[in-house]
Structure 1
Amino acid sequence: MSEKPPRLDARVESLASVARRQAERRLAAGEKPRLSRLLLSPTLAFLGVYLGRRGALNGMAGLIDARTAALFSLVTEATHFQMAKGAQGPSPGGEIPAFGGASLPLSATLICKNEGGFIKKCVESLDGFHEIIAVDSGSTDATLDILRGFSARGWPIKLIERGWPGYAKQKQFAWEQATRDWVLSIDSDEWLDDDLRRALPALLAAPNDVVAWKLRRPLAFYGQEQVAPKGAKPERITRLARREKVRFDESALVHEGLVADGQILETRQGFLRHDRALRIDRQILKEMTYARLKAEQRVLRGKKPSRLRIVVNPWLYFLRIFFLNRVYLYGIDGYILARTRAAYAFVGETLHWQLMKRCS
Structure 2
Amino acid sequence: MITFNEVNHIDDVIKNISFADEIIVIDSFSTDGTIEKLKSHKNVTTICREFKNFTDQRNFALQQASYDWVLFIDADERITPLLQKEIITEINKPYNEVVGFMFRRLFYFKQNRIRFSGFQTDTTYRLFKKEFVKYNETKIVHEMPLINGKSKVLKSKMLHYCIDNANHYKSKMEHYASLKALELFKKGKKPNFFHFYFKPFYKFIYNYFIRLGLLDGKEGFTLCYLSAYGVYYRYVELKKLYN
TM-score interval, normalised by the smaller of the two chains: 0.7 to 0.9
**Residue 104 of structure 2 contacts residue 122 of structure 2 at CA under 8 Å; is this kept in 1?**
yes
Deviation per residue, 1:153-202 (Å, 9 max, x gap): xx3x2222222232211111111111211111111221212221121123
| Aligned match for 1:162, one of 15, 25, 49 | 49
Task: Tell me how far apart the structure 2 counterparts of residues 257 and 175 of structure 1 sit (CA, whole Å).
Answer: 14
**Residue 134 of structure 1 contacts residue 158 of structure 1 at CA under 8 Å; is this kept in 2?**
yes
Which structure has the higher relative contact order (CA within 8 Å, separation 6+)? 2
What corresponds to 2:229 in structure 1? 343
- Secondary structure of the residue that 2:155 maps to in structure 1? coil
| Aligned match for 1:215, one of 90, 103, 109 | 103
Supply the AA of the counterpart residue of 1:150: H
Q: Compared with structure 1, are the counterparts of its residues 326 and 126 closer, same or farther at alpha carbon in structure 2 (3 Å cutoff)?
A: farther
What corresponds to 2:199 in structure 1? 313
Q: Compared with structure 1, are the counterparts of its residues 139 and 281 closer, same or farther at alpha carbon in structure 2 (3 Å cutoff)?
A: closer
**Residue 175 of structure 1 contacts residue 185 of structure 1 at CA under 8 Å; is this kept in 2?**
no
Task: Tell me how far apart the structure 2 counterparts of residues 351 and 136 of structure 1 sit (CA, whole Å).
Answer: 25
What corresponds to 1:249 in structure 2? 136
Supply the AA of the counterpart residue of 1:311: Y
Deviation per residue, 1:15-58 (Å, 9 max, x gap): xxxxxxxxxxxxxxxxxxxxxxxxxxxxxxxxxxxxxxxxxxxx
- Secondary structure of the residue that 1:135 maps to in structure 2? strand
Deviation per residue, 1:178-234 (Å, 9 max, x gap): 12111111112212122211211233246543121110112231x3245858xx714
Cα displacement (A) at 1:353: 4.1
Supply the AA of the counterpart residue of 2:4: K
What corresponds to 1:127 in structure 2? 18
Supply the AA of the counterpart residue of 1:240: L
What corresponds to 1:202 in structure 2? 89
What corresponds to 2:78 in structure 1? 191
Greater Cα shift, 320-329 or 188-197: 320-329
Higher Cα radius of gyration: 1
- Secondary structure of the residue that 2:41 maps to in structure 1? helix
| Aligned match for 1:141, one of 28, 32, 37 | 32
- Secondary structure of the residue that 1:254 maps to in structure 2? coil
Task: Tell me how far apart the structure 2 counterparts of residues 250 and 208 of structure 1 sit (CA, whole Å).
Answer: 28
Cα displacement (A) at 1:247: 1.0
Alignment RMSD, CA only? Answer: 2.3
**Residue 90 of structure 2 contacts residue 96 of structure 2 at CA under 8 Å; is this kept in 1?**
no
Deviation per residue, 1:270-305 (Å, 9 max, x gap): x22222313223422332222122112111112233
Instruction: Kindly indicate whether residue 36 of structure 2 is the aligned counterpart of residue 180 of structure 1.
Output: no
**Residue 217 of structure 1 contacts residue 235 of structure 1 at CA under 8 Å; is this kept in 2?**
yes
Query: Identity of aligned pairs, percent?
Result: 28
**Residue 24 of structure 2 contacts residue 46 of structure 2 at CA under 8 Å; is this kept in 1?**
yes
Task: Tell me how far apart the structure 2 counterparts of residues 227 and 317 of structure 1 sit (CA, whole Å).
Answer: 17
- Secondary structure of the residue that 1:237 maps to in structure 2? strand
Q: Which segments of 5 or more consecutive residues in structure 2 lack a partner in the other structure?
A: none
**Residue 218 of structure 1 contacts residue 234 of structure 1 at CA under 8 Å; is this kept in 2?**
no
Task: Tell me how far apart the structure 2 counterparts of residues 312 and 158 of structure 1 sit (CA, whole Å).
Answer: 46
- Aligned residue runs from structure 1 range 74-153, under 5 A: 110-151=1-42
- Aligned residue runs from structure 1 range 214-233, under 5 A: 214-221=102-109, 223-226=110-113, 228=115, 233=120
Task: Tell me how far apart the structure 1 counterparts of residues 114 and 184 of structure 2 sit (CA, whole Å).
Answer: 36
- The two structures have a TM-score, normalised by structure 2, of 0.88
- Secondary structure of the residue that 2:163 maps to in structure 1? coil
Cα displacement (A) at 1:344: 0.5
Greater Cα shift, 327-336 or 202-211: 202-211
Q: Compared with structure 1, are the counterparts of its residues 272 and 310 closer, same or farther at alpha carbon in structure 2 (3 Å cutoff)?
A: same
- Secondary structure of the residue that 2:182 maps to in structure 1? helix
- The two structures have a TM-score, normalised by structure 1, of 0.61
Greater Cα shift, 240-249 or 199-208: 199-208
Cα displacement (A) at 1:258: 1.6
